[in-house]
Structure 1
Amino acid sequence: MKRNQKIALSAFMGAMGLAAAGGAWAQTGPDCGLNTGKAATGEPIPIGAVVGKTGPDDFSASGQAAAAYFKCVNANGGINGRPVDYIVADDQWNPETAAQVASKLVKDRKVVVLAGSTSFVECGANAKMYADEGVMVIAGTGVPRECFNARNYVPVNAGPRVSATIAAMYAAQKYKAKKMVCIIPNIPSLGNWACEGPKEWGKKNGVEVETIAIDPGSADATSTMLQAAAKKPDTIIMNVPKGILVPMLAAAEQQNIGKKIHFVSSAPAYNADVPKAIGPYWKGNFDVNLEFNPLESAGPDNKNWLAVMDKYGAKSDPRDTFSQAGYVAARIVTQALLKMDPKRVDRAGVTDALRKVSDFRSDILCKPFYVGNGNRHNANNSGPVASPDGNGWRFAPGGCLTAEDPELVDIRADEQKMGLK
C-alpha cells in the first residue's frame, strides 16, 4: 500500500462572532452573530431549507439545529438589526414534493439563501432550479451524488462516498487489508457511486473492492452478510444507514463473521446509541469514519453548538452529527450576511458573498471550509476514525484522515487555485 495518506491534525479553533468581537465574550450565553443580547426588530431576511422530515425516517436534524442557531442570532441583534425568517419545508422523501416546496421557497417566499437543508431526494429534483434562480444552498447534509455535483449546492458534510473511502483507507492502513466488500443501498444516485470511491482508490493502491447493492426496504441481513463473507474479503465496508447497519452486524455476530473479517463503516454508524446496540462483540473490530470531530469534543465551537441547542432548540432535537452540520451551515451563512450592508441583502449579493467564503473555521471541522466558484462542492473531505468500546466510542490516534478518492481531483484543483492546502 502507498504510504502517502495525508494526516491532518484536527481541531482548528473556531472564529466565532466575527462581527462584534467586543461584545462576543462579554455575555455568558451561547455565542451567536452580533451577541448584543437584544432582539432584532428590523425587516426580516427570508432564509429557507428543504428537509426530509416525514417518510421512511426523520431526516431533519440539520434544519432543527440551523433553526436554533438563527433563533440565537435573532435574540442577539440579528443580521445587523434584521431578524432571520427561517422557513423549513418538508419534502416527505418525495422528489415531486421536493420540487414543489423548493419552488415555493425560492419563487414565492423569495428566500435569499437556503441553509441547513437535508434530503435524500431534493438535490436531483432542485439543483438545476437553484442554479437557474441564482440561489445558493449551504446544506447541512448531502447524500446522493447530485448533492456533490451541483454549482449552487454546498453540503457541509463529507458525504457517503468520501466517508467510505476514508474507512477503506483506514482498513488498509491498520489491518493491511487487500480485499474488501462495500455494502450500499441501491438508491438511485447513491448505489454504486458511494462505493466507487473505495473501489477507485483501491485500484491505485493494490486493494480489490467489490460492491453489494441491497434493497434498503427488503434486504435480509443474514443473507447479505453471508453473501459478503463468501467473497472472502479481509474487510467489509458498511455504507448503510444505522437502521440497516445494526441488524446486519447482529447477523454477522450470529454467524461469527466479525471474528474472521474486519468491519469498517462510513459516518452513519457514528451515533451515541450504536455501541450499546451492537454490543461488546464488536469491541476492537469495528471502525467508523466521522464526517466531523466528535460530538463530545472540547473545542469552543462544538461546545457552543451544544449551548445553542440547549437554550434555543427543543429537548427532542437530536444532538448528533447531522445537528452539528446544520449548526455549521447556519454559521457560514450568518458570517457571510454580517459582512453585507443590511439594506442590500438580496439574493445576488448573498450568493456573491457566499462564493467568497474561503477560510471558514470551526473546531467541528477538520479543515477550514470554503465555497468558491467551483462547479461542484465537497470541501469537507477529512475526518477522524472511532471504534466502539462497548459503552461509547474511542478515537484512533493521528487526527483526521483526508480522502484520496480520485473523484476529488477537480476539488483539489479548485483548492489549489484558491491557495488552500
Structure 2
Amino acid sequence: MRFLTAKSALVLATVGLLTVGLSACVSESADTGNAGGTTEKSELQCGLASGEAASGDPIKVGAIATASGGVDFSSSPVAAQAFFDCVNDNGGIDGRPIEYSFQDDALDPTKTAQLAAGYAADTSVVGLVGDATFIGCDVANAEYAKANLFSITGVGVPQACFNSSNIAPINAGPRNSAIAILQHLQKEGQADRVFQVGLNTQGNGDWVAAGIEEYAAANGIDIVGSELSDPTESNWLPLLQKIKDANPTAVIIADPGPITASILAAAEQQDLRGEISWACTASCYDAQFGQQIGAYWDGFISNSELQLVDADGTDNELWKSVMDAYAPSDAPRDTFSQAGFLAAKIFTETLLGMDGDIDRDTVSTALQGVTGFSSDLLCAPWYYGEADAHNANHATRMAVIEDGVYGELAGCENVNDPSLQPIVDREKSEGLAG
C-alpha cells in the first residue's frame, strides 16, 4: 500500500479522492530494477545463491492484486517480483528463470474473475504467488479450483481469501488483526468502551466487525459504537461526532492506510486524541506511516501480522536487502511487502525441492504439501495443506508509534477468534505447523 501524509490525505478526502496511483508498478511493465539501495546484488542469498543468471526455459507465475480503484495493495506482488528477480540472478530454479507478472483488478470483482480465468486457462502458468486482491478471492478461487491452480497469496483481505480451497494467505487477515488489537487493549485495561470503524463491504468490513463483536460479547467488552463506511466516503465529520458522543476508551480502525490517514487528519483538526487509545489493523503498519500522520499521533497503535520491519533476523534482513536492490525506491516497506516476499520465498524453496518435471500439476501437488515452513518473519510455522479453509498465520505482534517510528509494543500473541478453532484443530491433528 502507499500512504498519504495526514495533510495530503485530508485534502484528498475533501475532494472525494482516495485512489492511490500505481500505474507505473502494475503488471509486467513494472519498473523493478535496482532502486539504488546500498546492498550489492552479488551479496544476496536468494534461491541457489549461485551468482549466475538463469537462462533456461522460463517458469511462468502470476498474481492478481488490487492496485487502483480506491485502494492499493500492490506492495505484496512488488516484493514478490523483487525476490524472483534476485532468484533469477542467482541460478533461478535449477537454471530456469521465474517469469513473473501481476495484474490489477481495479477493485472490480468482474475483472478479478476475468484475470483469474485467464491465468487458469494458460496452462503454462504453474502457480500464483503474492496475490493481494481486496475483493476477488471468491470468484478467483472458483476459476483456480476448476483448473487445479493454487495460490500462495501474500495478502488476503475478504473472508473468502481464508475460506478457499486453492488460496492460502501469508498474512493473518483483517479480522485476526482487529481482534488482536482488541485482545491487547483488553489486556492493558483500555477496552472498557470500544468504538469500531471499518468498511461497509460484504465479506470484509462486516466480517471484521462481526469478529470484534463476537470477541467483545465473549469477554464482557462494551462496543459503544460501530461505523462501516463506503470505501469512497470523504466526509469524516459525522463519524467523528459519533465517536465524540460515544465517549470511548478506544477506537479500532479497520480501514486501508490512506482512509485511516484521512480519518486521523480530520480527528486531529477536531483535537479528538484525548484519553482515547487509537489503533489500526495491519493495513496501517508501514515504516513511513508515523511520519506521515505527524507527531500528534505518537502513541498510535497498529497490529503487525508479520515481524516488525526494522527487526533483525535472516529473512527480515534479506527482505530489506532485496527491496533495496531490486524494488523501486518508493515501494512500501510494510507488512504486506514482507508477505509478498515470503510468499515468493516459500514458492522458490518448494520448487527447488521438487524432483522431476515442473508443471502445473506437479507444482500444485508440491504446494499443498508445504508444512512447517519456519521464518523469523512469522510467529509460527506456515503450511498449506488440502482444505477448504486456510489461515495458517494466526499469531501476530503489536507496534506503537513513538517519535514518528513504529516500535514493538507486544510480541507474538495467538489470536483468540473462536472461528479459527477448526483450523487450529486440523493443524494440530495433521501436524501441519511442524
Cα shift readout 1:173-220 (whole Å, capped 9, x = no counterpart) = 113423312111112211211122222112221113353111121252
Is 1:29–1:307's contact at 8 Å kept on the other side of the alignment?
no
Q: How does 1:312-351 map to 2 (within 5 A)?
A: 312-341=326-355, 343-351=356-364
Local SS of the residue matching 1:257: coil
- Please, what TM-score do these two structures have when normalized by structure 1? 0.88
- Assess, with a 3 A threshold, how the Cα gap between structure 1 residues 224 and 400 changes in structure 2: closer, same or farther: same
Q: Is residue 356 of structure 1 aligned with residue 347 of structure 2?
A: no
Q: Counterpart in 2 of 1:367?
A: 380
Q: Counterpart in 1 of 2:412?
A: 400
CA drift of 1:28 comes to 5.5
User: For 1:318 and 1:245, how far apart are their aligned partners in 2?
Assistant: 16
Q: Counterpart in 2 of 1:117?
A: 131
Is 2:175–2:211's contact at 8 Å kept on the other side of the alignment?
yes
Local SS of the residue matching 2:43: coil
User: For 2:86 and 2:275, how far apart are their aligned partners in 1?
Assistant: 50
What is the identity, as a one-letter code, of the residue corresponding to 1:408?
Answer: L
Q: Counterpart in 2 of 1:215?
A: 230
Q: Is residue 304 of structure 1 aligned with residue 309 of structure 2?
A: no
Is 1:198–1:405's contact at 8 Å kept on the other side of the alignment?
no
Is 1:160–1:194's contact at 8 Å kept on the other side of the alignment?
yes
Is 1:46–1:109's contact at 8 Å kept on the other side of the alignment?
no
Structure 2 unaligned regions, length at least 5:
1-40
Q: Counterpart in 2 of 1:101?
A: 115
Q: Counterpart in 1 of 2:38?
A: none
Local SS of the residue matching 2:99: strand
Identity, % of aligned positions: 38
Q: Is residue 410 of structure 1 aligned with residue 422 of structure 2?
A: yes
From 360, 371, 394, the equivalent of 1:381 is 394
Cα shift readout 1:228-280 (whole Å, capped 9, x = no counterpart) = 33233321111111212122223333334321322222111212332233333
From 78, 84, 100, the equivalent of 2:98 is 84
User: For 1:276 and 1:35, how far apart are their aligned partners in 2?
Assistant: 36
Q: Is residue 234 of structure 1 aligned with residue 270 of structure 2?
A: no
Local SS of the residue matching 1:118: coil
Is 1:171–1:264's contact at 8 Å kept on the other side of the alignment?
no
User: How many residues are paired up?
Assistant: 392
From 22, 44, 50, the equivalent of 1:36 is 50
CA drift of 1:318 comes to 2.5
Cα shift readout 1:293-342 (whole Å, capped 9, x = no counterpart) = 1111111111111111222223233322221111000011111111112x
User: For 2:42 and 2:331, how far apart are their aligned partners in 1?
Assistant: 23
Is 2:86–2:322's contact at 8 Å kept on the other side of the alignment?
yes
From 65, 75, 78, the equivalent of 1:51 is 65
From 281, 284, 299, the equivalent of 1:269 is 284
CA drift of 1:55 comes to 2.5
Per mean C-alpha deviation after superposition, the further-off stretch among 138-147 and 218-227 is: 218-227
What is the identity, as a one-letter code, of the residue corresponding to 2:146?
Answer: D
Q: Counterpart in 2 of 1:152?
A: 166
Cα shift readout 1:4-39 (whole Å, capped 9, x = no counterpart) = xxxxxxxxxxxxxxxxxxxxxxx9611111111122
Q: Counterpart in 2 of 1:17?
A: none
Q: Counterpart in 2 of 1:18?
A: none
Per mean C-alpha deviation after superposition, the further-off stretch among 199-208 and 287-296 is: 199-208
CA drift of 1:150 comes to 0.3
Is 2:394–2:415's contact at 8 Å kept on the other side of the alignment?
yes
CA drift of 1:165 comes to 0.3
Per mean C-alpha deviation after superposition, the further-off stretch among 164-173 and 219-228 is: 219-228
Computed over aligned residues only, the root mean square deviation of the Cα atoms, in angstroms, reads: 1.8
User: For 1:266 and 1:57, how far apart are their aligned partners in 2?
Assistant: 15
User: For 2:189 and 2:414, how far apart are their aligned partners in 1?
Assistant: 18
Q: How does 1:177-196 map to 2 (within 5 A)?
A: 177-196=191-210
- Assess, with a 3 A threshold, how the Cα gap between structure 1 residues 390 and 180 changes in structure 2: closer, same or farther: same
Local SS of the residue matching 2:102: strand
User: For 1:409 and 1:165, how far apart are their aligned partners in 2?
Assistant: 14
Is 1:115–1:326's contact at 8 Å kept on the other side of the alignment?
yes
Structure 1 unaligned regions, length at least 5:
1-26
CA drift of 1:69 comes to 1.0
From 205, 215, 219, the equivalent of 1:201 is 215
- Assess, with a 3 A threshold, how the Cα gap between structure 1 residues 109 and 355 changes in structure 2: closer, same or farther: closer
User: For 2:301 and 2:325, how far apart are their aligned partners in 1?
Assistant: 33
